[in-house]
Structure 1
Amino acid sequence: MDEVKQLVTDIKNNKLAPIYLLMGEEAYYIDKISEFIESNVLAEEERGFNQMVLYGRDVTVEDIVGNAKRFPMMADKQVVVVKEAQDLSRTIDKLSDYAKNPQPSTVLVLCYKYKSVDKRKAVYKAIKKSGIVFESKKLYDNQVPDWIRRTLSTKGYKITPKASQMLVEFLGTNLAKINNELEKLQIVLPEGSEITPSHIEENIGISKDYNNFELRKAIGARNDAKAFKIITYFGDNPKDNPMVVTVSLLYNFFSQLLQLHGMNDKSPRSVASALRVNPYFVSEYLDAARNFPMRKVSGIVATLREFDVKSKGVNANAVPQKDLLKELLVRILN
């Protein structure tokens, strides 16, 4: 995030590199930086002749170099953006000669999504020396709630820990998807609002009472009645609540409990740091650890591995998801 801010600040201040290699698993920042360059390097009246967008699947490296070597018309700079540059992965090393001596009046932007250029390649080393390489790494599940909080804070909004956790568990770590949903909430809620689970339910369609977050909480507290109620809801609405996701999240939860049992220092700060969870949820983990001894947790982890396979249709003999979920819950709580 700090690296992105610095990049944006430098571009605003006209501190431009001749080449930007934007690469990595997380496409969100690659798109945002590219869009910022397209919108801010040239004045609107200069873009018609001096800004070009190419697509990796439609061009060769020679085409890119040819366009990059052009001189701008009635402007100090030209911008050449290559989207989906990962489609040139087999030939991109041919760009190394240009990268060693790039055209000073061109800003060449390579959007290399979902993976990274091999750092041993000549093109990577050349761009690293003459331009800027930005690697957009995928966030871990536990990092996304804080990203949501910081993103909303810049727009004048707050969000409760439970609401942000609901978004992560429903949408995963895809920042573009999450940002789209956050933008919808910003349209309907006035600036300064704190986004709650009720807002998520009303505007995004994620149930505040029947979700994996509440299931995990109910199981950890050994609230059998509530856990079975949620599981029944999941079984009745399998498309919105795929079993494979539920099993994966429960597996992560009980793996964390196993780690917690092995810790000597179980102070809230140590637990939050070791398990990489929001301090707000530490008490739930401590309660669950008291309710599930280490030997029981080990058995549950093994059970979840078994049901992970079954949830994918292996050795399940066409058993309905609803029945598999109930069997799983019985074995966890028994």
Structure 2
Amino acid sequence: MPYNIKQNEIPNNLLVFGEETFLVDELITQIIEKMISNGLDTNSIERLDGSSITEQEIVDNANNLSLISPQKLIIINNFDVLYKNKRKSFPGLVNYLQNPNPSSTLVFIGVPSRLNGISKELNNSKKASAAKSKIEKLPEVLKFLIQSDFYAEFPKLYDNEIPDWVVKRALNYKKEIDIQTANLIALSSNSIREIDSELEKLNVYLGNKNHITIDDVEEIVGINKENNVFELTKSVGIRDLDTSLGITDNLLLHSNQSVLILITLTRYFLTLFKLIDERKATTNKFQLAGKVGVNPYFIDEYIRSLSKYSPSDVERAISLLSKADEELKSTSTDNKYLMFRTLTDIIT
């Protein structure tokens, strides 16, 4: 569960970890900034390392009063190293965490790799029981912090999750972005640290303009206008096989975007599926756009596609894309072959 610094007070003990190190680093910075704004002197911030400190030394440091300010922040990097090859904790540290010095804040960074993704597992009804069993086997310190909800995990964002993250992240810059444009930004990198850097550039470029458009992304991020997932949906929408295969080949050549291609095309055909029914109720393009969840600017493109695809064609395309997604995740099939075969089956 990501700890929300804006909504919660900083606890005296907090475990921070996750494969998305950019978000881990960001939370640590937010904690430091918030505590400084509340009176913490920068000289009362200590950085320790789990590879060169004992649990007893952590307790001693936490109990020592700061002579400079009423608060003290201790950040322990590589906390996982302390528990790399052992299951037991020093009882004194567990006792301290249960009754911490109110003037000290301990932030532990890092957990053994076996805990990666634990927050997602706890929120998954099928995996929650196994996740809880995994937690029960942890050293007492880690078990206490997690079971007491004194933790923030930033699990790995997979390709299909990044566009939604971009939409939410843009709000940090007081910008709005639709999912199609977010998909385009996601093409720029597999690193959310780099993607955020692109959003920062867009924020500076746009100034007071509130909405990020595809044209803005093409101008600033530098995504090729002829070879992106949106040009791909356009060519698939008019059943242009040669262009579709050419764009796909280019996307796969520069970076493996197989998952993003499948997600974007699936969303496209699911939108067509919704549009089939909604057109029976209204022909108003703005109403249709709102009903199916697309920018009104693109609604004509979707309507044109329905002249190329029958309802059964749309259902078949969704089925083929679902099958391709399963193959991509479960077999060693060549990605390019899989993409080309799926597009050919949909379009021809």
Counterparts of 1:56 and 1:75, CA distance in 2: 25
Farther off after superposition, 102-111 or 174-183: 174-183
Select the residue among 153, 156, 165 that pairs with 1:144.
165
Kindly state the Cα deviation for residue 106 of structure 1 after the two structures are TM-superposed.
Answer: 1.1
Kindly state the Cα deviation for residue 149 of structure 1 after the two structures are TM-superposed.
Answer: 3.7
Counterparts of 1:125 and 1:309, CA distance in 2: 32
Could you tell me which residue of structure 1 aligns to residue 347 of structure 2?
A: 333
Q: Are 1:207 and 2:224 counterparts?
A: yes
Counterparts of 2:79 and 2:290, CA distance in 1: 39
Could you tell me which residue of structure 2 aligns to residue 224 of structure 1?
A: 239
CA contact (8 A) 2:273 2:315 kept: no
**Relative to structure 1, is the Cα distance of residues 279 and 97 closer, same or farther in structure 2, using a 3 angstrom cutoff?**
farther
Partner amino acid, structure 1, of 2:94: S
Counterparts of 1:85 and 1:131, CA distance in 2: 17
With the length of structure 2 as denominator, give the TM-score of the two structures: 0.66
Counterparts of 1:296 and 1:191, CA distance in 2: 44
* Deviation digits for residues 224-249 of structure 1 (CA, Å, limit 9, x no counterpart): 33x63253144256442425345543
The aligned runs of 1:284-299 (5 Å cut-off) are 291=310, 293=312, 296-297=316-317
CA contact (8 A) 1:52 1:80 kept: yes
With the length of structure 1 as denominator, give the TM-score of the two structures: 0.68
Farther off after superposition, 101-110 or 33-42: 33-42
Counterparts of 1:185 and 1:25, CA distance in 2: 26
**Relative to structure 1, is the Cα distance of residues 216 and 93 closer, same or farther in structure 2, using a 3 angstrom cutoff?**
farther
Counterparts of 2:32 and 2:225, CA distance in 1: 39
Query: 3-state SS of the aligned residue for 2:65?
Result: coil
* Deviation digits for residues 262-310 of structure 1 (CA, Å, limit 9, x no counterpart): x99x9999x999xxx8554896778868545266236523762587389
**Relative to structure 1, is the Cα distance of residues 100 and 302 closer, same or farther in structure 2, using a 3 angstrom cutoff?**
closer
Could you tell me which residue of structure 1 aligns to residue 200 of structure 2?
A: 183
Select the residue among 111, 133, 155 that pairs with 2:151.
133
Q: Are 1:51 and 2:45 counterparts?
A: yes
Could you tell me which residue of structure 2 aligns to residue 163 of structure 1?
A: 181
Counterparts of 1:46 and 1:145, CA distance in 2: 35
Could you tell me which residue of structure 2 aligns to residue 72 of structure 1?
A: 66
Q: Are 1:192 and 2:186 counterparts?
A: no
CA contact (8 A) 2:22 2:192 kept: yes
CA contact (8 A) 1:53 1:80 kept: yes
Question: How many aligned residue pairs are there?
Answer: 310
Kindly state the Cα deviation for residue 150 of structure 1 after the two structures are TM-superposed.
Answer: 1.7
CA contact (8 A) 1:159 1:196 kept: yes
Counterparts of 2:325 and 2:108, CA distance in 1: 41
Identity %: 20
CA contact (8 A) 2:45 2:72 kept: yes
* Deviation digits for residues 137-171 of structure 1 (CA, Å, limit 9, x no counterpart): 66645632430342221xxx444553223123544
The aligned runs of 1:65-144 (5 Å cut-off) are 65-90=59-84, 94=89, 95-112=93-110, 114-116=116-118, 119-120=135-136, 122-123=140-141, 126-127=144-145, 132-136=150-154, 140-141=161-162, 143-144=164-165
CA contact (8 A) 1:300 1:332 kept: yes
Could you tell me which residue of structure 1 aligns to residue 4 of structure 2?
A: 3
CA contact (8 A) 1:42 1:77 kept: no
Partner amino acid, structure 2, of 1:147: K
**Relative to structure 1, is the Cα distance of residues 194 and 245 closer, same or farther in structure 2, using a 3 angstrom cutoff?**
same
Farther off after superposition, 234-243 or 29-38: 234-243
Unaligned runs of 5+ in 2: 120-133
Counterparts of 2:105 and 2:40, CA distance in 1: 17
Query: 3-state SS of the aligned residue for 1:103?
Result: coil
Counterparts of 2:146 and 2:329, CA distance in 1: 44
CA contact (8 A) 1:251 1:304 kept: no
Counterparts of 1:104 and 1:195, CA distance in 2: 45
